[in-house]
Amino acid sequence: MADAAPKVRLFVDGPLGSGAEARLSREQAHYLFTVMRLGPGDAVALFDGENGEWRAVVADAGRRGGALVCAERLRAQTVGPDLDLLFAPLKKARTDFVAEKATEMGVRRLIPVFTRFTNSERVNRDRLRAHAVEAAEQCGVLSVPDIAEPRRLDAVLAAWPAERRLMFCDESGAGRPALDALADSRRLGGPPGPWAVLVGPEGGFSPEERAALAALPGALPVSLGPRILRADTAAVAALALWQAAMGDWRRQAPQAARAGEHTEICAASGPR
Amino acid sequence: MADAAPKVRLFVDGPLGSGAEARLSREQAHYLFTVMRLGPGDAVALFDGENGEWRAVVADAGRRGGALVCAERLRAQTVGPDLDLLFAPLKKARTDFVAEKATEMGVRRLIPVFTRFTNSERVNRDRLRAHAVEAAEQCGVLSVPDIAEPRRLDAVLAAWPAERRLMFCDESGAGRPALDALADSRRLGGPPGPWAVLVGPEGGFSPEERAALAALPGALPVSLGPRILRADTAAVAALALWQAAMGDWRRQAPQAARAGEHTEICAASGPR
C-alpha cells in the first residue's frame, strides 16, 4: 500500500481481480516494455471498466503480449449516470474530439446517428473506441463508453425506449434555456432515469426529424444561448449542463484520492 | 434586402458603417478573389466587432487588398457579458482549441496565465488571435475576444480588480458543485457585474497560488464533478455552466434570423 502509484495506466480486457492475470495487446506490450522500459516486478495500473482499478505487476515482459498479475485494488468501480450521447458524425478530428470529451464527461454510450443533413457518411468505430480508451486511460476514468453501431436518426427515434428522456439542442431557437428546462424536468419527474443528449449535425435537423423529435414524449428541446456553436462545442456544453443539473456533478466531489498521479496529461479540474 | 445572405463572412478593421470602405489583408483578398473567385459587385458579410455586421460589395478585386463598400447593416452589434477566461497555456493544439471555443462561448477577453505548474512556457498571441477570428467568422459571432498579454498568475491575482468575481475550477475537490455555488452567488449578489473563469494548468495549482485564490474576496471555487477533466474540456464545461447560470444563455434565445447561412461549418446548436 505504501508503493507509489503506478505511472502507467492501461485499459485491458477483464475480468480483473486479486491474482488475476491480464494479457496485453501487442501495442500495449510495446508501449510498456519498449517505450516505457518496464520489466518484471514493475507496477502498472489496470482497469477493465467493470472491476475497478488494480495495481498489477509485470510477470512476463514478452513483446508478444507479456503478462501482468493483479496485486491489489486501487479503486472500486464506480458507475456514472445512464447517459447516452447521440451525435451526427463530423469531420474526423472533431469526431475524435467528441469521443474524447464524452469519455471525460462520463457518457456511458456513444451513438453516432446519420441525419438528413449529416455531412460525414462514414464512422470508424475502432477509431472512436481508441480515442475513448485513450481518454479514459489518461484521465483516470474507470469506464470506457460503448460505441454503438451507427444508425439513422429516424430509425433511432422510431424505436426510442419510452423510459429514456432525450435532451436535444434545438437550433431553431424554440428551446428553452437548458438549465430552466432541466430544472423543471427534475421537479416534475420522479427518479432520474436513463437519459440521452442529442447534438444535431452542422446542417441542422430536417423538418421530418424535427417533427419526429416533437412527437417523442420524453424529448426536451433546449437552447444553448444566442451564439451559434459548432457541433463539438455544443456536445461538451450540453453534457456539462446535463451533468451539473441532473447527473453526478451535483454531488459534492469526493476528496482527492489520487493526487498528482496523472498530472502530466490531465487537467486540474476534477478531484484527484 | 431581398438579396441572399452572403456566403462569405470576414472580420475586418473598422469602423464599418453605411458607405464605409473596408480594406482587406492580402490573405483575405487572396481568399475572396482567388479561392472564392468573387469579383466586383459580389457581396460579402463583414463585421468589425463594434458596429454589427454589414453586407458589403466588392468595389476593387485587386490582389494587394482590394476594397469593399458597406451597403446595408445585416445585424446590429450585440454585447455579451463581461467575461474573461484565464487559462494556463497547454500544448499547441489544445490552446488553439481553447481560443476557438472561448470565442464561440462569448468570452470577451482571453488571458493566458503562467502558473507554477504550467507546462508550456510560450504563447503565440497572433496564433490565438487567428483562431479566435476564424471561430468568430465561421460561427456568426459578432465579436472577437481580446487576447491579453500573457502574465504570471500570482501577478494577476495580486492586482485583481475588486469588482470582478472569479470562478475557478478547484481540482482539490473542495469546491462546491458549480451550479449550487453560482446560484448562491446570484442570490447574494446584486447586479451581475464583471466575471472571470480560471482554469488551472495540467499540474494543478501550487500551495501559494491556492492561498492567493483563497484570499481573494470575489473568488468562487467550484467543482466540475467526480472525474478528472483535461484543462481544455474544463474550460468549455466551466464556460457553459457560467453562461447558463449567470450569462446570456439564461435568456430565451431570439428567433432564428439567419437560418442556413453558415450551415457548412457551424453547428445546429444556437439559434440562427
CATH number, position A160:
3.40.1280.10
Instruction: Check residue A33 and give its pLDDT.
Output: 92
Choose from B9, B176, B227, B272 for mutation: most chain A CBs within 10 A. Answer: B227
Choose from B98, B228, B242 for mutation: most chain A CBs within 10 A. Answer: B228
**Cell triple for residue A154?**
429516424
Domain-embedded: residue A132: yes
Q: Are residues A46 and A177 in the same domain?
A: no
Tell me the pLDDT of chain B (272 aa) as tens digits.
Answer: 445 678 899 999 989 999 999 989 888 999 999 999 999 999 999 999 999 999 999 998 876 778 899 999 999 999 889 999 999 988 888 889 999 999 999 999 999 999 998 866 788 999 999 999 999 999 889 999 999 999 999 999 999 999 999 999 987 777 899 999 999 888 876 557 899 999 988 778 999 999 999 999 989 999 999 888 999 999 999 999 999 999 999 876 554 433 333 333 334 333 32
Q: Are B123 and B112 in contact (CB under 8 A)?
A: yes
Instruction: Name the residue range of residue A61's domain.
Output: 9-75
Cβ A226–B256 below 8 Å, yes or no? no
Q: Are residues B140 and B229 in the same domain?
A: yes
Q: Which of B106, B234, B240 sits opposite A241 (nearest CB)?
A: B240
Domain-embedded: residue A212: yes
Domain-embedded: residue B24: yes
DSSP class per residue in A133-186: HHHHHHHT-S---EEPPPEEHHHHHHT--TT-EEEEE-TTS-SEEHHHHHHHHH
Domain final residue, candidates A75, A107, A130: A75
pLDDT tens per residue across span A75-96:
999 988 999 999 998 888 888 9
Cβ B234–A200 below 8 Å, yes or no? no
Residues of chain A with pLDDT under 50: 1-2, 255-272
Q: Are residues A182 and A119 in the same domain?
A: yes
Domain-embedded: residue A224: yes
Cα distance between residue B219 and residue B168, in whole Å: 7
Domain final residue, candidates A50, A75, A100: A75
Instruction: Check residue B7 and give its pLDDT.
Output: 86
Q: Are residues B40 and B98 in the same domain?
A: no
Radius of gyration of chain A (CA): 20
Q: Are B141 and B78 in contact (CB under 8 A)?
A: no
Instruction: Check residue B191 and give its pLDDT.
Output: 58
Q: Are residues B35 and B142 in the same domain?
A: no
With H, G, I as helix, E, B as strand and everything else as coil, classify residue B155.
helix
Q: A77, A96, A78, A76: which is closest to A87 by C-alpha?
A: A96
User: Could you give the number of structural domains in chain A?
Assistant: 2
- Residues in A touching B233 (Cβ below 8 Å): 101, 104-105, 236, 267, 269
Q: What is the 8-class DSSP label of residue A202?
A: T
Entry pTM: 0.89
Q: Are residues A141 and A241 in the same domain?
A: yes
Q: Are residues B127 and B240 in the same domain?
A: yes
Cα distance between residue A164 and residue B46, in whole Å: 44
**Cell triple for residue A133?**
480508451
- Give exposure, A104-131, as e/b (b: 16+ Cβ within 10 Å): bbbbbbbbbbbbbbbbbeebeeeebbeb
Q: Rounded to a whole number, what is the distance in Å from the CA of B61 to chain A's nearest CA? A: 30
**Cell triple for residue A194?**
436513463
* Biggest distance spanned by C-alpha atoms of chain B: 61
Instruction: Check residue B3 and give its pLDDT.
Output: 58
Residue type, B55: R
Q: Are residues B104 and B54 in the same domain?
A: no
Domain final residue, candidates B75, B103, B133: B75
- Residues in A touching B268 (Cβ below 8 Å): 169, 171, 199-205, 231, 234
Instruction: Check residue B253 and give its pLDDT.
Output: 56
